[in-house]
Amino acid sequence: MLQIAFLREQKDQVLARLAKRFYANAEQEVNQSIAFDNERKSIQLELDNILRESNEAAKIIGQLMKDGKKEEADQKKSKTAELKSKSKGLEEKLVQVEKQLHDTIIKLPNLPHESVPTGRTPEENEIVYQVEKLPELPETAIPHWDLIKKYDIIDFELGNKISGAGFPVYKGKGAKIQRALINFFLDEADKAGYYEVQPPIVVNAESGYGTGQLPDKDGQMYFINEDNLYLIPTAEVPITNLYRDVILKQEDLPVKVCGYTPCFRREAGSWGAHVRGLNRLHQFDKIEIVRIEMAENSYAALIEMRNHIQGLIEKLGLPFRILRLCGGDMGFTSALTYDFEVYSAAQKRWLEVSSVSNFETFQANRLKLRYKDKEGKNNLLHTLNGSALALPRILASILENNQEEEKIRIPECLWKYTGFESI
RNA sequence: AGAGAGUUGUCCGAGUGGUUUAAGGAGCACGCCUGGAAAGUGUGUAUGCGUCUAAAGCGUAUCGAGGGUUCGAAUCCCUCACUCUCUACCA
């Protein structure tokens, strides 16, 4: 959520930056927010004055009662009745205006960083890096959905039977390579200084709201009606929310946390082309890295995270590229996002395997995540996160890119985790 | 799941309608004292919003959350969340 004070003070800049997203009603919604805020302020001022008067009166009445001057006290009481009805009306109005302000400002997406390219579609993303040569596979190469059948390592039909589409069963070496990837990614994160946590994979609405999945992506999360809980779409939600309503000390920074969780996505309406096999699932595994940084360090941290992810993909030996997302393709809450895509030779297309973003204060403002500086002043922090990495598409590209006539090579960095060198 | 007891500031903890403007203690910060430290001692120590160019100051709200009663609520009433104890169940 954007800060109302910033909208007020830097309206031109806000509108210019929102323009990069081609956000339609920017000017109208910004003006509306400011108008609601003005109204809020004037109501509060009036309300505070009335409350002050009645607080003072209550004190006097208390004193009069004590002194036994009951009649005088009663007289005073009748006067305060009027104040009371007035303050009640104002309170209702205040709540209403605060809600209107909130509902308006919550719709505004984050402001793109100045380096974000202008553009509406994925085609306009900027390619920051790309491997020089794309791998070429022999004519006989097949996509991963055929490979998993050939080697019997992932079973979608079994998953269909016990759960439904998008919930595969990993079997034998398929299951072991999952476990190997999880451990490899966690160990690498650990080496890079990330503190490991194992959070719950269901969260309450407040947490969903804190990181911005709610109200924006309500329909995308599985919801447990009975207990009012959501299945997490990413570990970003529980991990970042560990720091909801927290005021950190400057010496606690930066915060670097990682965690492995299953992730659940309904992906409502997104079935069809390009979602075969492991390309899009309802349940998948992911290792997430999360950082909390002071504003002046957050972009350096983003590059560090990007380099970490790049290192993982390089160790796995996969052909990849890095994109800087254009304004139109960037997520609602992000100020700058880099996407990693791995080339699938058998599918002849790029698959997104990681997304690393700086949210600046957008999440922190909702989370009320701040730090106390040397002067004792509280400031909003910057939050960042990235997938390091999500398993299914990484597994898909390992299978596809490493296939040979009668086996699939396992990247060497995984051998000590799998205990086998090929499938 | 049933019964009971709880939730107060950074922490512990007092407080059952009106000097609570939240006692007292601990911790922390800064000062005094000291050769240095400890002890001692003094002062300070939450958050949001508003007012203000800003700071200070002042106002207002916040004692788990939300609502209610009252001139006045940490205190009384209602709803919800969470914690603990016992019982039941169970990896």
Q: What angle do CA A386, A387, A388 make, to 5 degrees?
A: 110
Q: Nearest CA to A202 among A228, A183, A220?
A: A228
In the structure, how far is the CA atom of residue A259 from the C1' atom of nucleotide B11, in angstroms? 30
Identify whether the C-beta of residue A401 lies closer than 8 Å to the C-beta of residue A171. Answer: no
Residues with Cβ within 8 Å of residue A230, at least 6 apart in sequence: A202, A203, A204, A205, A207, A208, A213, A221, A222, A223, A224
What is the layout of strands, in order, in the sheet containing A370-372?
Answer: A247-249, A370-372, A378-380
- Whether residues A96 and A129 fall in one domain: no
- pLDDT tens digits in sequence order for chain A, 423 residues long: 999 999 999 999 999 999 999 988 899 999 999 999 999 999 999 999 999 988 888 888 888 887 777 778 887 887 787 888 888 889 889 999 999 999 999 999 999 999 999 999 999 999 999 998 888 888 888 999 999 999 999 999 999 999 998 999 999 999 999 999 999 999 999 999 999 999 999 998 889 988 888 887 778 899 888 788 899 999 999 999 999 989 898 888 899 999 999 999 987 655 565 678 888 899 999 999 999 999 999 999 999 999 999 999 999 999 999 999 999 999 999 999 999 999 988 888 899 999 999 999 999 999 999 998 887 889 999 999 999 999 999 999 999 999 988 899 999 999 999 999 998
> What CATH number is given to the structural domain containing A94?
1.10.287
- Residue A183 and residue A297 in one domain: yes
Number of domains forming the structure of chain A: 2
Is residue A113 situated within a structural domain?
no
Cα A265 to Cα A195, A217, A236, A285, A359: the distances in Å are 26, 10, 14, 11, 21
Query: What is the per-residue DSSP string for A337-361?
Result: EEEEEEEETTTTEEEEEEEEEE-TH
Nucleotide nearest to A48 (CA to C1'): B60
Q: Are A75 and A153 contained in the same domain?
A: no
Please report how the helices A70-105 and A26-66 are oriented relative to each other, as an axis angle in degrees rounded to 10: 160
**Considering the domain boundaries, does residue A162 fall inside one?**
yes
Is the residue at A343 inside a domain? yes
Query: How far is Cα A373 from Cα A240, in angstroms, rounded to an integer?
Result: 21
Contact (Cβ atoms closer than 8 angstroms) between residue A395 and residue A385:
no
Domain range for residue A299? 122-418
Q: Distance from residue A86 (CA) to nucleotide B8 (C1'), in Å?
A: 31
**Residue A111 within a domain:** no
Q: Are residues A359 and A267 in the same domain?
A: yes
- A267-271: Cβ within 8 A, 24+ apart: A267/A166, A267/A220, A268/A219, A268/A220, A271/A165
Nucleotides of B under 7 A from a protein CB: 18-19, 47-51, 59-61, 67, 71-72
- Distance in Å from B1's C1' to A225's CA comes to 19
Residue A313 lies in a domain: yes
Residue A178 and residue A49 in one domain:
no
Which CATH number belongs to the domain containing residue A140 in this structure?
A: 3.30.930.10
Regarding whether A191 and A86 lie in a shared domain, the answer is: no
Whether residue A89 sits in one domain with residue A214:
no
Q: Do A191 and A317 fall into the same domain?
A: yes
Residue A423 lies in a domain: no
Q: Is residue A372 part of a domain?
A: yes
Instruction: Please indicate, yes or no, whether residues A270 and A398 belong to a single structural domain of this protein.
Output: yes
Same domain, A59 and A160: no
Determine, yes or no, domain membership for A255.
yes
The pTM (predicted TM-score) of the whole model is: 0.92
Picking from A415, A351, A388, A288, the residue whose alpha carbon sits closest to that of residue A145 is: A351
**Claim to verify: residue A74 and residue A164 sit in the same structural domain:** no
CA distance A151 to A170: 12
* Domain boundary, last residue among A105, A139, A164: A105
Q: In angstroms, how far is B80 C1' from A171 CA? A: 45
Other Cβ atoms within 10 Å of A81 Cβ, number: 10
Domain limit, last residue, from A78, A105, A132: A105
Does A92 lie in the same domain as A137?
A: no
